[in-house]
Amino acid sequence: MIVNDVTNDYKGKRVAVIGMARTGMAVAAALRTLGAEVTLYDRKPAEELEDSLAEAARLGVAARPGIDAPPLGGADLVIPSPGIPREAPVFVKAREMGIPVLSEIELAYRLSRAPIIAVTGTNGKTTTTVMIGKMLEADGRDTYIAGNVVAGDIRLPLVTAAVRATEKSVIVAEISTFQLEWIESFRPRIGALLNISRDHGDRHTNMDEYADLKASLFRNQRPDDYAIVNADHPLVMERTGGVKSRILPFSRLMEPREGAFVRGEELIVRLDGREVRICSKSEIPVPGEHNVENALAASLAAVAFGAEAGAVAEAIRAFTPIEHRLEPVEEIDGVLYINNSMCTNVDAVVRSIEAIDRPLVVIAGGKDKGSDWVPFAEVVKRSVKELILIGVSAPLIESAVRDAGYTRITNAASMDRAVEAARGLAEPGDAVLLAPGCASFDMFKGFEDRGRVFKSIVRQYQGCVVGSAKSSGERAK
């Protein structure tokens, strides 16, 4: 039950919620509790929305499936699913009619009695968000890990956390660019911008638009808030000029006057004239220099919020790999299989390849998001033993890799064939890495589905004896 001084702001309001996926249903539940009259819309037909329609009936809200252009007459407020572009006709129509459009995170901020620590960036959001949450839990805080995060059992929409949290709680939220498109007053107590690299080129018109949206996380902060930024990323630092909050940088390459950094092999946080050691790099259980950055950002956020260094270090040492993020699956016949299905952009592929210290057979491909594949081609040429391509964008990726002079390429028509090909090509001591660098919707329901299919296929080979190196993948000529 919400006991909040904004409750009356929504009582009796007619709200159109666009999209019946996880976010839309969470918004509907929260608004229904507040006494709003909610109507859910989705372009998908009813037969594809059976679970959502059942939940809508349970909540007592109206649901209108199969509607591509919702009628907005009489609506007081529109709340979009983050997956729907800002330029979609329904939102253009809402603006023309003078109907406010608010994102789910804006609604959540207005409802929340708890302070919010918000994490965004192109890569590393989930790992850093969960790390901060675990650090604050280890420090004894009543903590909600929420937002865009999908990590095993952790998948709590921010608006749901806002409804449940009290003044004594803290919410740590992963925030996507799409969620930032409709904010007005959203103001995290601590905001962290981890990095900016090219992603979602199919949604954003240019890199500046994408980077500016990321930096809008800090737009409404005040001088007593914190902005945690990656000092090693020029695109991040270029967008700190107008930030009104207290800027705290983290870096692997230098020691900022205040912030978090690496000295020798030690992670250090320096804040308010006090310097504390967190742990050594070797104590971080997840591999790669990018995870050193994630641990620095998380430690800085937790210490800035008041957590003790011992609790922060304890949480780092106990941290376990998150499903679909450099997740070890099995070692079979001396070959380690690694699931990095969440890797959906080129920068993430490069980082994950650089994090593995074994000879690599890489499975990549899917539905391209307007990426520049040159950096991928360069790291493949340097570090990849064999490349297996899947999905509709395989020809595009193959062209970029061949232009770099790399020819050890196999095309596979399915994940089954890709894993079979990898099994034939890998030798004891190697690793097979699923690092798609693409969206998954050409072949799968989502990145989770893709990763679980990969893991299921790999585990079918347990106890099998490797046959010939011949695979059912078609070697590209």
Divide the 477 residues of the chain into consecutive groups of 10 and give the mean pLDDT of each group: 56 95 95 95 94 95 93 93 86 93 95 97 92 98 94 88 97 94 95 80 63 94 98 93 96 96 97 96 91 97 98 96 88 95 89 91 93 93 97 96 97 96 96 94 91 95 56 47
Domains and CATH numbers, the chain: 7-101 (3.40.50.720), 105-318 (3.40.1190.10), 327-475 (3.90.190.20)
Phi, psi of 205 (to 5 degrees): -70, -30
Direct distance between the N- and C-terminal alpha carbons of the chain, in angstroms, rounded to an integer: 63
How far is Cα 33 from Cα 170, in angstroms, rounded to an integer?
22
Confidence at residue 87, expressed as pLDDT on a 0 to 100 scale: 85
Confidence at residue 325, expressed as pLDDT on a 0 to 100 scale: 85
List all residues 6 or more positions away from 161 whose beta carbon is below 8 Å from its beta carbon: 108, 112, 114, 144, 146, 147, 171, 173
Confidence at residue 161, expressed as pLDDT on a 0 to 100 scale: 97
SS3 144: strand
* Closest to 194 measured CA to CA, from 351, 54, 341: 351
Angle between helices 22-33 and 50-59 (to 10 degrees): 10
Question: What six digits make up the tokens of 149?
Answer: 């995060």
State the CB neighbour count (10 A cutoff) for residue 255.
13
* Closest to 181 measured CA to CA, from 148, 133, 144: 148
Confidence at residue 200, expressed as pLDDT on a 0 to 100 scale: 43
Confidence at residue 8, expressed as pLDDT on a 0 to 100 scale: 66
Distances (CA, A) of 112 to 59, 102, 163, 183: 21, 15, 7, 15
SS3 99: coil
Confidence at residue 464, expressed as pLDDT on a 0 to 100 scale: 64
Question: What six digits make up the tokens of 21?
Answer: 């996926």
How far is Cα 287 from Cα 132, in angstroms, rounded to an integer?
18
Confidence at residue 197, expressed as pLDDT on a 0 to 100 scale: 79
**Angle made by CA atoms 255, 189, 20, in degrees to the nearest 5:** 120
Q: Is 385 exposed, middle or buried (0-12, 13-18, 19+ CB in 10 A)?
A: middle
Q: Is 148 exposed, middle or buried (0-12, 13-18, 19+ CB in 10 A)?
A: buried
* Closest to 79 measured CA to CA, from 11, 138, 19, 160: 19
Question: What six digits make up the tokens of 396?
Answer: 């595009």
